[in-house]
Amino acid sequence: MSVGGMRAPLVVESGPEEEEEDVEVEVLHSEEELRLSVHPAVGVLGSGDFSRSLCTRLLASGHRALVGSRDPSRLPRGLFPEGTELGSQMEAALGAERVVFVALFPEHYPSLVGLREALAGKVLVDVSNADRLGRGAGGSNAHRLARLFPQSHVVKGFNGVSAWSLQTGAHDGSRQVLICGDGPDSKAGVVQLAHRMGFSPLDMGCLGAAGALEEAPLRAFPSWRGPVLTTLLLFLFLYGYGSMKYVLFPYLAFGQNHFYQLPLETVNQTLPAVAMVTLALVYLPGLLAAGLQLSRGTKYRRFPSWLDCWLGSRKQLGLLSFLCAGLHGIYSMCLSIRRAAQYSLLNAAYRQVRAEIPNSWVEEKVWRSDLYLSSGILGFGVLCVLALTSLPSVGNTLNWREFTFVQSGLGYAALTLTVMHTLFFGWDMAFSPGSYSFFLPPMFVLALVLPCVVLVGRLLLALPCLACRLTKIRRGWETKRPRTDQEVGITNGVVADG
Amino acid sequence: MSVGGMRAPLVVESGPEEEEEDVEVEVLHSEEELRLSVHPAVGVLGSGDFSRSLCTRLLASGHRALVGSRDPSRLPRGLFPEGTELGSQMEAALGAERVVFVALFPEHYPSLVGLREALAGKVLVDVSNADRLGRGAGGSNAHRLARLFPQSHVVKGFNGVSAWSLQTGAHDGSRQVLICGDGPDSKAGVVQLAHRMGFSPLDMGCLGAAGALEEAPLRAFPSWRGPVLTTLLLFLFLYGYGSMKYVLFPYLAFGQNHFYQLPLETVNQTLPAVAMVTLALVYLPGLLAAGLQLSRGTKYRRFPSWLDCWLGSRKQLGLLSFLCAGLHGIYSMCLSIRRAAQYSLLNAAYRQVRAEIPNSWVEEKVWRSDLYLSSGILGFGVLCVLALTSLPSVGNTLNWREFTFVQSGLGYAALTLTVMHTLFFGWDMAFSPGSYSFFLPPMFVLALVLPCVVLVGRLLLALPCLACRLTKIRRGWETKRPRTDQEVGITNGVVADG
Amino acid sequence: MSVGGMRAPLVVESGPEEEEEDVEVEVLHSEEELRLSVHPAVGVLGSGDFSRSLCTRLLASGHRALVGSRDPSRLPRGLFPEGTELGSQMEAALGAERVVFVALFPEHYPSLVGLREALAGKVLVDVSNADRLGRGAGGSNAHRLARLFPQSHVVKGFNGVSAWSLQTGAHDGSRQVLICGDGPDSKAGVVQLAHRMGFSPLDMGCLGAAGALEEAPLRAFPSWRGPVLTTLLLFLFLYGYGSMKYVLFPYLAFGQNHFYQLPLETVNQTLPAVAMVTLALVYLPGLLAAGLQLSRGTKYRRFPSWLDCWLGSRKQLGLLSFLCAGLHGIYSMCLSIRRAAQYSLLNAAYRQVRAEIPNSWVEEKVWRSDLYLSSGILGFGVLCVLALTSLPSVGNTLNWREFTFVQSGLGYAALTLTVMHTLFFGWDMAFSPGSYSFFLPPMFVLALVLPCVVLVGRLLLALPCLACRLTKIRRGWETKRPRTDQEVGITNGVVADG
């Protein structure tokens, strides 16, 4: 039986009340009572897809499912799972022991007001999604329902659950069900029900959170927007820069036709530059945060919100950097199967034969190419390990120390290898005037700026004087208000780790 | 306290209500009672590996473990964890507070009939696996046990759990334990026990499901069979086609020896064709489902079972397509390190020098090769993202809108890029009579058919007239029985998304 | 209400005690009581980061959070979430209903002795981490706390949880919370609390396990140490061997300058050798285990500890083998974009033209290179599938039969393909005296030894006479003590599967 006097008559008969979770009931006086209490009746208003899937799950987890429809005679009975009890909305409302799911479109909530008395004291679960973003505080469907039924307890929840995972059990769908609501005991009842249905309920706080819950399914990849946009703009800028410097200007100035480079070579020149800058953007905010803490002399002041936001985007930036690096790798490995490469080689062979040079080996170029390939491959290998630990199922198995080692240690290793890759690639080009045609520096020089800044910043922070101070600050010490050690407590790395 | 009158006297004394979850015991009168109730005694019949591992877990989670053996004197005591109470079967049956695990081979169940009285009212957990498939309804081991012990409550469960995860706790093994049974309260008791042991029990319904549970460990990759077979047959057919057209017939007709192409080139020609067709097969059933819904004018009629089955195999087909595409990528990137490629290049250089052609550049071929490489790489990149979201731990973090964007939006993007890749590759070959040697069209033409059909179908469904109708149907509208809007409820995408 | 008399007055009134989980309490006599019981007050001693994050989570999951500080007037109030009740340590200790978190550095525990009376009967949760490894039994912080507060119940737990996942809810952090303690009911109370806070508590046994729990966050990748070291040593040895044989000795003996091979070619020669040996090391311990069982005639004797340890490292060895194979693949695919490769090709073209050889095709070499590329690619593809199933979220979806098929079946397939890859590569080199320059066998011959031993061993175990005996032994049969069948129980593969 559920909480809160829903089955008052029974309680009177049986004397003591009982409560259960996954768990049982003891002092029962009759067969009928047993049946009722072990199969609590759950009401479902509405007869759409969600309602049907819900019934499947409710019945499978040992509940009775009372479906209430405005016109039960027209209900397509065959679509509901066997065992569903179909009836009028009033029957469902009255029959439900404690919890009633409201599976209607929000615009039809007002049509339920006739049930107000029947639903008094019961828990109404609002499972609806928002139809658009930004309805403001109090504008959520759940609030609307709560205003319509002041005597009932409205709990928001289950709206993110797909009908599919309701039907099949949470086998391979997510098991997480977000729930919020104002009444702690009504919420607890729904939490318990979700547990029985095989889900992992997560309490998201009071009903004020309902708006966020309802809008969540409308938002697609909210945490990816900024990073993707940044990476895209960076790509467009550098691609434009590259096509001007290497394709457009040579054509305008000397009539050289390099347009064939646009679909592949210029892209493959731009991708590594984007990957490097993005990887530097992953580690820059941590340095800025450390700098702020050092200059403020305390960690107990909030970072400016743009920095908080940037710190929160590091994982996404890192993965986008990895994507660019991976594409660059594939493009590079395809370089030699291009027609252009074959033609160049054939023409070079022709020229070599004509010039009667038996051996065209240039030791320095051989070393250079092998070194930049090696450092590039190793850097990419390290990035792969980093990306792997971004998978939730892998990252969750790491403790804090391991996570720091991977994300910070391996991350800087990858950045260093990448910079080496670029330096070996650039070698002497950076200092040859020919590379600065049209007064534009080569793209790899542009790409090196930010990573080098980050590496230098990291080295500065590793200086003993700064490192000690930073460690002290992160353990809770403050310049102005030296705190008693005892209050410090245990730090587990909430702040950005530079 | 446990379910069902096991501690009846206490209940009588206690009067008022109780509440419990993972947690025990309330009205206790003595030290001894406390000890008993906080360490509920669980019986285990049988002394094999499973029994031992079970005891380890039971003891670790705060239970007493009473092991019953037919001949306890011969039990290898050292193999059981310390604290296990070894005794006769009767002792274990009598001593168990509520739950008794039956960890014997099913063929020995009849030897337990002597315990019938001792086990009356208790919950017997059948942990056995099936020895073969297809024993039919009621033929499960659990049913057999239930028939032997009509006064006990038989619950099926724990049979999929490996002894390893029993011993170590569910640290890195799966935590999911499937359970089914007829008595809701006996089942709830086992669910609770599983919770205490650190597992995530999932209620699979009544004892009728026991057969499926017992057979599950016998089935290897049931959902992969169809897709793997399809892909394999497709591969064999296309490989045969390719080796006939490009290797066998040229040899028979003109004596050309191209047999060296069989291990790598023909495979690398076949793989992309298989990948494309399989990717088209992922999206075809969604189109068929949409077409059926449009023509029937309702979504409330079941799809034919072959279509349901096909819809359920889309993920597997997609991953197989990704595998083929990945192998094609690796093969292609290895093309230039083949001896054959080097010899061809050397011979071409020889010919070029002999023919005195200083520049063998063909602008059109250069563009073509760069374009088809680019579109291929991008298509593969998109497929990678798709494959990533098939990982349970990644997919579970997506909401419905994100999942649809990835699976439908990115999926069609990948298909389009793949078709472009093939078209750029084919370029004018498709229209040159030379490609149709032996009256067989080139393989890439075959591979293009299905993907083009799917793309055209998708475009048709995007026509406003059809798209509107389909949206209405999927929101619950029906041609014949226009339903009241109110009944519609919330759709969360149960049906195939075209 | 919670266990153990924390709310003594209430208990006295209501007579019997009650117990709850996510669920609420019934027999309440006033509004105030309701408020108290549905929002149980949890104490937190200490005011550091962990304490703050804990409060955020406690409040979000419907508890009251009473923070006790030595000097509450100096507490930076703004840093605690709204609703936290700040006070003296005594106030927090007295006000806490049942559970009190001790979020201080362990060195400050003695300063709490004044609270001994106030904390009597309550549950103290020690959340501290160890500051160094190897403090020995009884030296854990939790033991220290337990000795200081003999009348309280000390439970160890939450120490692995990061402040981050406390603040945000366990959305994408790990939900697992390890807990240990001596009192079953105090532990149950903390388990219940962890559940309410949205975590997945895992009972790790008695307080003796506290040391391990406290040290866990100090250990970085304990299971990876041995395998990584093994692989690294193997790499260094083979790299040294390769650079001596192919670079150093030719230079010393004939003055040949092959030093340019060191950064890439020698590495790319060493990596596949390491990958093969490591892969063989994955399957060797299973064979040894099978051999031991066969020779002992029983599975009921423990393996020597080095073998147990080796068996436990197989997953890590396999992943390192995969990493090496992957790097080898990337290196190989980059071979043709190296300058060295281009120069070699150009020089070969020059020589061919000079020598007037119109066709330099060598059919045998073409076949050989295609065959070893093919087998290498396929072997790598199989390794990829193996590596994928090592992901926790993928591996957890497999049943025992599927896991065995993948890990054993596919594993041996990968090993066989790898050996074939090497044999095709070596072809006749293994038998040409020229390969044994400086009396050193070529590296691929070294790399083949162990894999071939493993394959032969596996074939031996597949002989019917041995296979039958092994199966019998693994089902529980013993040479010396033929057991009654009935005791055998169900085997689910605890032992190493050869």
Residue C99: per-residue pLDDT: 93
> Higher confidence at residue C31 or residue B282?
B282
> Higher confidence at residue A64 or residue A414?
A414
Which residues of chain C does A497 touch, with a Cβ-Cβ cutoff of 8 Å?
A: none
Which residues of chain A does B397 touch, with a Cβ-Cβ cutoff of 8 Å?
A: 174, 392
Which residues of chain A does C161 touch, with a Cβ-Cβ cutoff of 8 Å?
A: 492
Q: What ipTM was predicted for this assembly?
A: 0.79
Tokens describing residue B322: 């990704």
CB atoms within 10 A of CB B88: 16
- Strands C99-102 and C123-126 turn out to be parallel
The three-class DSSP label of residue B311 is helix
Token look-up 């017997």 returns: B124
What are chain A's partners, defined as 3 or more CB pairs within 8 angstroms? B, C
Is A124 a residue whose pLDDT tops 90?
Answer: yes
Cross-chain residue pair A164–B492, CB shorter than 8 Å: yes
Q: Each residue of B169-180: pLDDT tens digit?
A: 544 445 678 888
What are chain C's partners, defined as 3 or more CB pairs within 8 angstroms? A, B
CA distance B420 to chain A (A): 14
CA distance B108 to chain A (A): 31
Q: Each residue of A461-494: pLDDT tens digit?
A: 999 999 999 888 887 676 665 444 444 443 333 3
| Contact partners, residue C87, CB within 8 Å, separation at least 6 | C66, C67, C68, C69, C72, C95
Disruptive mutation site among B180, B300, B315, B370 for chain A (greatest number of A CBs within 10 Å): B370
Give the model's confidence band at B333: pLDDT under 50 very low, under 70 low, under 90 confident, else very high.
very high
Per the confidence metrics, is the pTM higher than 0.90? no
Chains B–C, number of C-beta pairs less than 8 Å apart: 261
Helix (H) or strand (E) holding B411: helix B411-426
Q: Which residue of C has its CA nearest to A196?
A: C22
Q: Each residue of A315-369: pLDDT tens digit?
A: 999 999 999 999 999 999 998 889 899 999 999 999 999 998 888 888 889 999 9
Disruptive mutation site among A350, A352, A398 for chain B (greatest number of B CBs within 10 Å): A350
Dihedral class, residue C442 (left if φ above 0, else alpha if ψ from -120 to 50, else beta)? beta
Residue A21: per-residue pLDDT: 37
CA distance B337 to chain A (A): 9
| Angle made by CA atoms A396, A400, A401, in degrees to the nearest 5 | 125
Tokens describing residue B437: 């040697």
Q: Which residue of C has its CA nearest to A371?
A: C263
Q: Which of A34-38, C31-35, C265-269, C357-361 has the highest mean pLDDT?
A: C265-269
DSSP for C120-136?
A: TTSEEEE-PPPSSS---
- B333 → closest Cβ in C202, C333, C371: C333
Which residues of chain B does C185 touch, with a Cβ-Cβ cutoff of 8 Å?
A: 23-25, 38
- Count the residues in chain B: 498
Q: Each residue of C108-118: pLDDT tens digit?
A: 898 898 999 99
Is B72 a residue whose pLDDT tops 50?
Answer: yes
- B343 → closest Cβ in C329, C332, C366: C366
Tokens describing residue A404: 């720091």
Q: Each residue of B232-271: pLDDT tens digit?
A: 999 999 999 999 999 999 999 999 899 999 999 999 999 9
CA distance A350 to chain C (A): 8
C140 CB-side CA count, 13 A: 27
Q: Each residue of C190-213: pLDDT tens digit?
A: 888 887 777 777 777 788 888 888
Give CA–CA dist C343/A360, Å, rounded: 6
Cross-chain residue pair B11–A23, CB shorter than 8 Å: no
Q: What is the CA radius of gyration of chain C?
A: 32
Cross-chain residue pair B164–C371, CB shorter than 8 Å: no
Chains A–C, number of C-beta pairs less than 8 Å apart: 229
DSSP 8-class letter at A18 = B
| Contact partners, residue C316, CB within 8 Å, separation at least 6 | C223, C224, C226, C227, C228
CA distance B336 to chain C (A): 6
Residue B206: per-residue pLDDT: 81
Cross-chain residue pair C393–A397, CB shorter than 8 Å: no
Which residues of chain C does A374 touch, with a Cβ-Cβ cutoff of 8 Å?
A: 263-264, 267
CA distance C145 to chain A (A): 15
Give CA–CA dist A345/C342, Å, rounded: 8
Residue B136: per-residue pLDDT: 66
Give CA–CA dist C170/C350, Å, rounded: 66
Lowest mean pLDDT among A50-64, B144-158, B379-393, C322-336: A50-64
Is A12 a residue whose pLDDT tops 90?
Answer: no
Mean pLDDT of C122-142: 83
CA distance C433 to chain A (A): 29
Residue C395 and residue C389 in contact, taking contact as beta carbons nearer than 8 Å: yes
Residue A229: per-residue pLDDT: 96
Tokens describing residue A451: 């990573």
Position B156, amino acid: K
Give CA–CA dist A401/C496, Å, rounded: 31
Q: How far is CA A107 from CA A62, A130, A145, A188, A243, in A?
A: 31, 11, 10, 27, 54
Lowest mean pLDDT among A4-8, A267-271, B433-437, C154-158: A4-8
Residue C14: per-residue pLDDT: 34
Please name every residue paired with B177 in a beta bridge, in sequence order, or none if there are none: B201
Q: Which residue of C has its CA nearest to B131?
A: C490
Residue B421: per-residue pLDDT: 95
Is C270 a residue whose pLDDT tops 50?
Answer: yes
Q: Each residue of A85-106: pLDDT tens digit?
A: 888 999 999 999 899 999 988 8
Cross-chain residue pair B334–C22, CB shorter than 8 Å: no
Q: Each residue of B446-480: pLDDT tens digit?
A: 999 999 999 999 999 999 999 999 888 887 676 66
Three-state SS for chain A is CCCCCCCHHHHHHHCCCECCCCCCCCCCCCHHHHHHHHCCEEEEECCCHHHHHHHHHHHHCCCEEEEEECCHHHCCHHHCCCCCEEEEHHHHHHHCCCEEEECCCHHHHHHHHHHHHHHCCCEEEECCCCCCCCCCCCCCHHHHHHHHCCCCEEEEECCCCCHHHHHHCCCCCCCEEEEEECCHHHHHHHHHHHHHCCCEEEECCCHHHHHHHHHHHHCCCHHHHHHHHHHHHHHHHHHHHHHHHHHHHHHHHHCCCCHHHHHHHHHHHHHHHHHHHHHHHHHHHHHHHHHHHHHHCCCCCCCCHHHHHHHHCHHHHHHHHHHHHHHHHHHHHHHHHCHHHHHHHHHHHHHHHHCCCCCCCCHHHHHHHHHHHHHHHHHHHHHHHHHHCCCHHHHCCCCHHHHHHHHHHHHHHHHHHHHHHHHHHHCCHHHCHHHHHHHCCCHHHHHHHHHHHHHHHHHHHCCHHHHHHHHHHHCCCCCCCCCCHHHCCCCCCCCCCC
Residue A187: per-residue pLDDT: 84
- Buried residues in A402-433 as b, exposed as e (16+ CB within 10 A): bbebbbeeebbbbbbbbbbbbbbbbbeebeee
Give the model's confidence band at A136: pLDDT under 50 very low, under 70 low, under 90 confident, else very high.
low
- Count the residues in chain C: 498
Give CA–CA dist A492/A474, Å, rounded: 10
Residue C77: per-residue pLDDT: 63
Give CA–CA dist A321/A275, Å, rounded: 4
Please name every residue paired with A43 in a beta bridge, in sequence order, or none if there are none: A66, A100
- Percent of chain B exceeding pLDDT 70 equals 84
Give CA–CA dist C166/B110, Å, rounded: 52
Mean pLDDT of A31-60: 75
Give CA–CA dist B213/B264, Å, rounded: 44
Tokens describing residue B15: 């009067």
